[in-house]
Amino acid sequence: MTTPLTTSPAPLLIELFTEELPPKALKTLGRVFADTITRSLQSAGLVAADATMTPFASPRRLAVHIDAVASQAPDRQQREKLVPVAIGLNHEGQAQPPLIKKLAGLGLTLGQNLAPADLIREMDGKAEALFVEVRVVGAQIVAAAQAALDQAIAALPIPKVMRYQWPTSETNPDLHEVKFVRPAHRLLALHGAAVLPLEALGLRADRLTEGHRFLSRGVLSIPHANDYAEKLAQDGFVIAGFESRRQKMVSLLQSAAEADRVVMPESLIDEVTSLVEWPVVLKGQFDGGFLKVPQECLILTMQQNQKYFALTDAQDRLVNRFLLVSNLASKDPAVVVQGNERVLRARLSDAQFFFEQDQKKPLATRVSTLAQVVYHNKIGSQAERIARLTQLASRWAGWVGADPTQAARAAELAKADLATDMVGEFPELQGIAGQYYARLDREDEAVCLAIEGHYHPRFAGDSLPGNPVALAVALADKLETLVGIWGIGLLPSGDKDPFALRRAALGVLRILIEARVPAPLHQLLEETKQCFAGISAVAPNLADVQAFIADRLRGYLKDKGHSPEAIEGVLAQCPNRYDQLLDRLQAVDRFMASPQAPALCAAHKRIGNILKKTEWADRSGLAPLDAARLAESAEKALAQALATLGPEAQARAEKGQYVEAMQGLAALKEPVDAFFDQVMVNAEDPALRENRLRLLHNLFGTMNLVADLSRLAKA
């Protein structure tokens, strides 16, 4: 018996049941499917803005549940633009063909179901236009849900489309081609207890779905939309919600780890969550002899090849146990564990072999082989790049407090592990493998740490290089990439950044700012460019490179909570010494919290406007002031205050005491206010006018010691 559609709001459930979906895309597919359907129904007026939506995504299904969806949206009035008045009406006010045709398209006829007085005249831009209020019938659940489902399927970010044959209908066995991410087998659509007659991908909706491929009791019938998740869990052995399944799996892993810590990168957790419908955690172990291999390699082998979870002890050292997540509650889990241990043993043996083979040649001997490895065909080989890094790192060692000889050695060995078997098998171990091999070769420990550390920061929030030698090599590595790749025209575009120039720029900024490196950026860029002097293909515009870095800098500082006005004010006065930025911004923030700040910023902007109209705008340094020409008491008071406060503020700014320097400016408020109230700057006497401009010029420079105050003034 078919349950009739309800006229009251009811929960809605829509599910697509498919073959196994691509695991790395499942989380995104589930979110887009649910979000698109919900937004579509909200725009149709069937779902309240505060309705609760629950997405579902498991290896074989995409679904969404919305707690209250109306069967029909209320009718509404909508204003429709018709035509410009000049086109729609003649001089006598009679309707012309363009207006009549437009009204006919809306089902309206003047004199029949629309009175001339119902036409509304309103300005539309620069011309007057005709509008009309029309009644729009509210959307109905079946049509709106069908449109929402169609939109959701079209919006899915499908990595690769599959083509397959499917019967045209239940009564027509002829096959037709369907395109989707994976073959779809069922469509479930319920509004409350009633089935919505939706269609998609050659399927017609019903109330049936399927549970776990092996544990389920067969086809499941869902009585009501609210029964979906519970029914699947109890009878189908499927935890349909991605987040629910993820939380359950993480909890099981942590419990199984006992006193150890589970190594759980987010990407691995999400991928395994996408592979299982009913997570069961099993414990395995491997031969402790493999622990002689670098633990990063063993962990990577477990994660990438087998999707296992490694375990570490309280000292963060790998132990010879691991956890695996099975999609099956086996009657004999020991057999499952033994099979996985056997497979892992083979994988770890490969890693051990690579590690032992690599040790037969010292790391330094591999540098020469990089002459045959192309870095970029317009720039040269990796060996040529290493020569540039060595030159830059040793030159810049003094900026970061590193030993130039150690910096040069670290730069020489930094890319040597690219020629090892270990990195050839696991590219993610670049730097890590080199650090281990350098240590085995008895290289200086600072050099060993720099081989791995120079890749930092590798992503947002990552740590900086851990020692001065690593800082020097990291600066060289990132700026060489920026200048070289920019120089051959391979600029980032949109979301495409194949050489990670944005990441390199942010890495440079974080090193200069957070490690307090006093090197001027323009000097570093110029010295990097000089390293490419013999390569004609590399012709970077350093001003463009610095502007690119400055754009990243604004985002970085904004993320730290600084206002755009404060950022621009400081950058105007400190364009190259990024180690000073945070101190200057802190000083600006404290100054702007003072009661004197708004008036001083406004006065500074006014001074700047006055100077722009004179030759004083282009002068630099303090101008000599003629004290004998100070005529008014207000200008004498300002000159005296400036003579007292200016040198003191200058000295503090030179010592990096920016907070104290700006706090001293607060005392200028009263004399500045009095000056503008009582003194005419553009006096008729040229000598008097010149002297007052000198006074304002000196005041302007003193107020700009830390930041350009005019950029802090409210418009």
One domain, residues 181 and 65: yes
pLDDT given at position 167: 78
One domain, residues 150 and 270: no
**CATH at residue 696:** 1.10.730
Domain containing 409 equals 377-420+436-561
Residue 219 burial by Cβ neighbours in a 10 Å radius (0-12, 13-18, 19+): exposed
Question: Which of 174, 206, 236 represents a domain boundary (last residue)?
Answer: 236
What's the token pair of residue 232?
């699947």
Strand partners, 163: 179
Closest of 606, 511, 513 to residue 567, by C-alpha: 513
For residue 530, is it within any domain? Answer: yes
One domain, residues 396 and 496: yes
pLDDT given at position 591: 86
pLDDT given at position 685: 87
Q: Tokens 């003034």, residue?
A: 713
For residue 269, is it within any domain? Answer: yes
Strand partners, 191: 12, 194
One domain, residues 527 and 475: yes
Alpha carbon distance 411, 394 (integer Å): 8
pLDDT given at position 178: 86
For residue 632, is it within any domain? Answer: yes
Closest of 670, 696, 701 to residue 683, by C-alpha: 696
One domain, residues 54 and 199: yes
| Phi-psi domain of 494 (left: phi exceeds 0; alpha: psi -120 through 50; beta: other) | left
Using CA atoms, how far residue 80 sits from 117, 134, 243, 654, in Å, is 15, 7, 44, 65
For residue 369, is it within any domain? Answer: no
For residue 576, is it within any domain? Answer: no
Question: Which of 187, 208, 236 represents a domain boundary (last residue)?
Answer: 236
Question: Which of 136, 170, 188 represents a domain boundary (last residue)?
Answer: 136
Mapped onto helix, strand or coil, the DSSP state of residue 191 is strand
Which ranges of 459-580 would DSSP assign to H, the alpha helix?
468-487, 501-514, 521-530, 542-559, 564-573
One domain, residues 42 and 114: no
**Dihedral angle sign, alpha carbons of residues 213, 214, 219, 220:** negative
Residues 6+ apart with CB under 8 A from 524: 396, 475, 479
Alpha carbon distance 382, 372 (integer Å): 8
What's the token pair of residue 98?
């363009």
Closest of 14, 22, 309, 266 to residue 153, by C-alpha: 14
For residue 320, is it within any domain? Answer: yes
For residue 101, is it within any domain? Answer: yes
User: For the chain, how many structural domains are there in total?
Assistant: 5
Directed axis angle between helix 669-678 and helix 597-612, to 10°?
A: 50
One domain, residues 616 and 511: no
Using CA atoms, how far residue 130 sits from 98, 116, 134, 428, 630, in Å, is 12, 11, 13, 65, 68
One domain, residues 486 and 612: no
One domain, residues 412 and 520: yes
One domain, residues 347 and 272: yes
pLDDT given at position 1: 45
One domain, residues 555 and 699: no
Alpha carbon distance 573, 658 (integer Å): 13
- Residues with pLDDT less than 50, the chain: 1
Q: Tokens 């007026």, residue?
A: 45
For residue 429, is it within any domain? Answer: no
Neighbours of 225 (CB within 10 A): 24
**Dihedral angle sign, alpha carbons of residues 268, 270, 275, 278:** positive
Closest of 92, 94, 88 to residue 131, by C-alpha: 88
pLDDT in tens, 548-599: 999 999 999 999 999 999 999 899 887 788 999 999 999 888 888 888 888 8
Helix (H), strand (E) counts: the chain: 25, 20
Closest of 350, 252, 257 to residue 310, by C-alpha: 257
One domain, residues 313 and 390: no
pLDDT given at position 58: 96
pLDDT given at position 714: 65
- Checking 166-169 for CB contacts under 8 A at 24+ apart, the result is 166/201, 166/202, 166/203, 167/202, 168/202, 169/202, 169/204
Neighbours of 102 (CB within 10 A): 19
